[in-house]
Amino acid sequence: MPLPLVLITHTLPEDWMAALEGRVRAVTGPVDATRFDPALETHLPEAEGIFCLLTIPIRADLLTRAPRLRVVSNMAVGYDNIDVPACTARGIPVGNTPGVLTEATADLTMALLMSAARGLPQSANDAREGRWSTWRPAGWLGMDLSGATLGIVGMGKIGKAVAIRAKAFGMRLVYSDEVASPEIETAVAAEKLPLEMLFRQSDIISLHCPLTAETRRLVNAETLRLMKPTAILINAARGPIVDTPALIVALRSEQIAAAALDVTDPEPLPPDHPLYSLPNCLIVPHIGSATHNTRRRMAELACDNLLAGLAGRRLPNCVNPEVYQ
C-alpha cells in the first residue's frame, strides 16, 4: 500500500512534524505561504489529508478538487478559515488544537492589557527618543488594574485563563457568553452580563469568542459608543470581530482611550494602514500562541489529528464530530 499523500501548506520545523515521518508522503508549501500554494494545487486530486494554518482558506471549491480527501487538520484552535459544513457534507473530519495554547494566549492577552493600561509603547518611545527629561508627577499616567472592571467576551478556555490571571491583579470580572460558566463565577466571582451592560460597565474589554456569523463586527460603531471614554479594547481572538473603520474613528476621536490588538482585519495589516498611525493603538502580529513549547505542541496535536483521520480513527480534537454519526 503506498503511503497516503498529504499536503502541508507551510514548511514547519522538522522536529515538530516528526510523527509524520514514514507514515505519509508529504508535499509541503513554502515557509511563509500566504495562500494555498499553486504547487500543492496540482496534488489535490490525489491528496488524502491537508495540514493547514489559520491563514489558508479551505473552501468548498478547493474541497471539490480533492475527491480523495479524508481529513483536514488545522494547526490552530480557531477554524474560521475552513468551510466546516462543506467538510461535514463530505464526511471529512476537521481537526483543531484547543487546550495546548490556552495559557500562552492568556499570557499575551495580559501583556497587551498591561501595556495598554500603562501606556508602555508611548512611554518606551518617549524614553528612547529623548523625552525623559525628569521624573514627571503628572506624566505617563495610566489605569490602575486593581479595582478596574474587566469585561470578557467569550468565556471559553482562554477567557477563563484570562479571568484567573486578572483576578490575581485585583480586577472585578464580568463576562458575556451564550452559556453560563458557574465554575468561573465561583472561582473568580465573575458576573455574567448581557453584552450591552458589559460594554457600558467595563474599563477594559477583552475579546475571546470565536469568529462566527454572530460575532463578526460585534465591536462596531454602536457598541463602541457604549464604552467609557477611558476604556481599553483588547482583541486576541480574530480581527473581523471588530469593525476596523469604526475602531479607527473611536480611537482617533478618543471616544475610547486605547486598543491593543493581536489580530486585525485585514490581516496582516499593510504597513501603510491608518491603524498604525494612532498613538493609542498597540498592534502585534498575531503572536498569541507564539511560544516555543506552545507552537510545537500545536503542531504535534495537528499531526495526531491528521494521522488519526488517515487511519480512519476518531480525531483527538474534532470540530465536526457529527461526521462520526
Q: Which residues are marked as active site?
A: 238, 267, 286
Q: Which is nearer to ligand GLV, 74 or 202 (CB)?
A: 74
Question: What is the three-class DSSP state of 167?
Answer: helix
Name the residue with cell 483527538: 316
In angstroms, give the least distance from the CB of 237 to ligand GLV: 8
Those residues whose C-beta lies under 8 Å from the C-beta of residue 157, and which sit 6 or more positions away, are 98, 99, 102
Q: Which is nearer to ligand GLV, 77 or 82 (CB)?
A: 77
Backbone angles phi, psi at 173, to 5 degrees: -115, 130
C-alpha cell at 210: 470565536
Burial class (CB in 10 A: 0-12, 13-18, 19+), 220: middle
Q: How many C-beta neighbours within 10 Å does residue 300 have? A: 18
Q: Which is nearer to ligand GLV, 231 or 263 (CB)?
A: 263
Q: Which is nearer to ligand GLV, 32 or 61 (CB)?
A: 32
CA 111 to each of CA 175, 260, 283, 288: distance values in angstroms, whole numbers, following the listed order: 20, 10, 12, 10
Q: Which is nearer to ligand GLV, 77 or 246 (CB)?
A: 77
Task: Return d(Cα 198, Cα 152) in angstroms, integer.
Answer: 8
CA 191 to each of CA 62, 151, 195, 234: distance values in angstroms, whole numbers, following the listed order: 44, 9, 12, 19
Residue ranges in contact with ligand GLV by CB under 6 A: 54, 76-78, 101, 288-289
Task: Return d(Cα 31, Cα 260) in angstroms, integer.
Answer: 27
In angstroms, give the least distance from the CB of 223 to ligand GLV: 22
